[in-house]
Amino acid sequence: MSFISVSGVFEAPLESEVSLRGWIYRHRSSGAIVFAVLRDQSGIVQVTVKKGNVPNEQLEAAKAVSMEASVQIRGRVFEDKRAPGGREVRASCFKVIGPADAYPITEYQSEELLLDNRHLWIRSREQTAVMKIKASVLAGARDWLRGQDFTEVTPPILTQNACEGGTTLFKLKYFDRDAYLSQSAQMYLEALIFSLERVYSITPSFRAERSRTSRHLAEYWHLELEEAWVDNRGNMDIQEGLVTAMVEAALKERKEELLLLRKDLAPLYEIKPPFKRMRYEEAIQRLRGQGFEIEWGCDLGAVEERALTAEEAVPVFVTNYPKECKAFYMKEDDEDPRTYACADLLAPAGYGEIIGGSERETDLAKLLARMEEQEICTDPYKWYLDLRRYGSVPHSGFGLGVERVVKFICSMDHIRDTVPFPRTVSRVYP
């Protein structure tokens, strides 16, 4: 028996015989006829099992079948405007492969129950759509970066030094010494530019932040990039091209899935370079005009980012943050030494930061001075400081939160719904 996908039913000639396999998505029985909706990875289709068309034992099996049971079906394709997609398969053979117990997930369930049963909830059409979109977004990113002559590399996950902050590190025992789960591959990518010049990685990163917001995960996927001979302006140009390519990949390959998750695709078609750019000081002025009590030197949080971009149609760069609210490795801005040559990219419609990037400091003396000022022990960073001793060049890079981009593209309320098995401050099961 040769099987076709569910989506193949809608391309098959009418009255042709097809063989399908999948899982029962919906099910109801009306005496001598059973209406079942079958799903597989490609979609859903209605199947009718009618007395006289199948052996009696198969009809009884169809009546008794439970939601999420796996089945094999053979039948003919007919039009039916009342069925999903306008077609149905009238079964001549119905076989249960894997029976199912009473499914614990019904139409109305709490978020906690859905999270406890995540291993089952990922079968839902919404979760399936998100996973497909995410795969296309990542493929689009890789295709675009290859076209720009970037090389994908594989930095380590285990490290002895922090990149962002020592208070958010996951500590573990590495044989006879302490090690940490990587917060960022940035420093390793910086080392690699001296051989490959243009590099990127897509790896998991880990932040031990006790955040309970809709945009934080303890484990997330991080697309990071470093490029030699590029300043912060060039770095922002790369970000514009990359984000646009990711959105375009989703629109090109996953329009049906996107429409399942969001009502309107029009805003996504607006994502085109150039993106809007504003300096930190302009952002502060705007926020004060909206009633925010925010002082120079304060970092922008989710509420402030939402206010800045709520009415924007395209992403917004906020540039030139004060030194006191950013990391030590950023380059001082030549025109305003109070600030760094850096930028955060904020998604439109209030979705907040999706990229943080900067030009990197190449002056060894300045790096050492900042580390001393911030009381950062230099021992774990000896290898990183060596990069400034042996042929340093101007370079820039950034980190993109993959799930945050997917959250924006899919118009989702919570970032945990962008990963199959979310890891948050309160959840490591299943």
Which residues contact residue 97 at a Cβ distance below 8 angstroms, ignoring those fewer than 6 apart?
Answer: 21, 69, 70, 71, 72
CA distance 39 to 106: 17
Which residues contact residue 282 at a Cβ distance below 8 angstroms, ignoring those fewer than 6 apart?
Answer: none
SS3 11: coil
Q: How confident is the model at residue 165 (pLDDT cuts 50, 70, 90)?
A: low
| Sheet of strand 276-279, all strands in order from the earlier edge strand to the far edge | 151-152, 198-206, 219-228, 395-401, 352-359, 342-347, 316-319, 276-279
| Strand 43-50 versus strand 342-347 pairing type | unpaired
pLDDT at 122 over 70: yes
pLDDT at residue 160, as a whole number: 87
pLDDT at 317 over 80: yes
Q: How confident is the model at residue 164 (pLDDT cuts 50, 70, 90)?
A: low
pLDDT at 31 over 90: no
Domains of the chain in start order, with CATH, are 6-98 (2.40.50.140), 118-418 (3.30.930.10)
Cα first-last separation, the chain: 36
Summarize pLDDT for 68-90 with one digit per residue, the tens. 999 999 999 999 999 999 999 99
Measuring CA to CA, which residue among 324, 333, 385 is closest to residue 358? 333
Percent of the chain residues topping a pLDDT of 90:
94
Torsion of CA 227, 229, 232, 234, to 10 degrees: -80
pLDDT at 197 over 80: yes
Query: What is the pTM (predicted TM-score) of this model?
Result: 0.96
Q: How many CB atoms lie within 10 A of CB 211?
A: 15
What is each CA distance from 40 to 15, 71, 239, 371, 425, in whole angstroms? 21, 11, 36, 55, 33
> Across residues 32-50, what is the average pLDDT?
97
> Across residues 327-341, what is the average pLDDT?
96
pLDDT at 1 over 80: no
How many contiguous H segments (helices) and E segments (strands) does the chain have?
A: 13, 16
CA distance 89 to 15: 9
Tell me if the bond preceding 422 is cis, omega within 30° of 0.
Answer: no
pLDDT at 161 over 90: no
pLDDT at residue 339, as a whole number: 98
In this structure, are residues 217 and 407 in contact, taking their beta carbons and an 8 Å threshold?
no
Q: How confident is the model at residue 54 (pLDDT cuts 50, 70, 90)?
A: very high
Tell me if the bond preceding 430 is cis, omega within 30° of 0.
Answer: yes
pLDDT at 11 over 90: yes
DSSP symbols for 168-186: G--EEEETTEEEEE-S-SH
Summarize pLDDT for 221-253 with one digit per residue, the tens. 999 999 999 999 999 999 999 999 999 999 999
Torsion of CA 185, 189, 191, 196, to 10 degrees: 160
pLDDT at 194 over 70: yes
Which residues contact residue 178 at a Cβ distance below 8 angstroms, ignoring those fewer than 6 apart?
Answer: 160, 171, 172
Torsion of CA 402, 217, 422, 6, to 10 degrees: -20
For 209-307, strand residue ranges (E) read 219-228, 276-279
Percent of the chain residues topping a pLDDT of 70:
99
pLDDT at 108 over 90: no
Mean pLDDT of the chain: 96
- Type of residue numbered 55: P
pLDDT at 167 over 80: no
Measuring CA to CA, which residue among 152, 169, 1, 138 is closest to residue 73? 1
Which residues contact residue 148 at a Cβ distance below 8 angstroms, ignoring those fewer than 6 apart?
Answer: 198, 238, 241
pLDDT at residue 168, as a whole number: 85
pLDDT at residue 166, as a whole number: 65
Q: Which DSSP helix (H) or strand (E) runs through 135?
A: helix 125-147
